[in-house]
Structure 1
Amino acid sequence: MLRRLLTAVRFWSSPRSPATDRPLYDFLRDPAGSWHVLLTHLGDTLTTWGPATAVGLITGALVLCLGRVWRQHYAHRRLARGAQIITVLPPPDASPDGASALWAHLAGLLLPARRHSLCPGPHLSWEYLLDRGTVRIRLWVPGTVPPHPVARAVEAAWPGARTHT
Structure 2
Amino acid sequence: MNVLERIRWEIGASISIARRYMRIYYIRPGTIMFGLMFPLFMFLSFAVGRRIPASMLISSLISITLLFSSSSVGPMILPMERRLKTIERLLVAPISFYSILLGVILCSMVYSILISIVPVFIGLLFLGVEVVDLLSLAVGIFFSSMCFASLGMM
Q: What is the TM-score when the length of structure 2 is the normalising length? A: 0.30
Higher helix share: 2
Higher Cα Rg, which structure:
1
Higher strand share: 1
Q: What is the TM-score when the length of structure 1 is the normalising length? A: 0.29
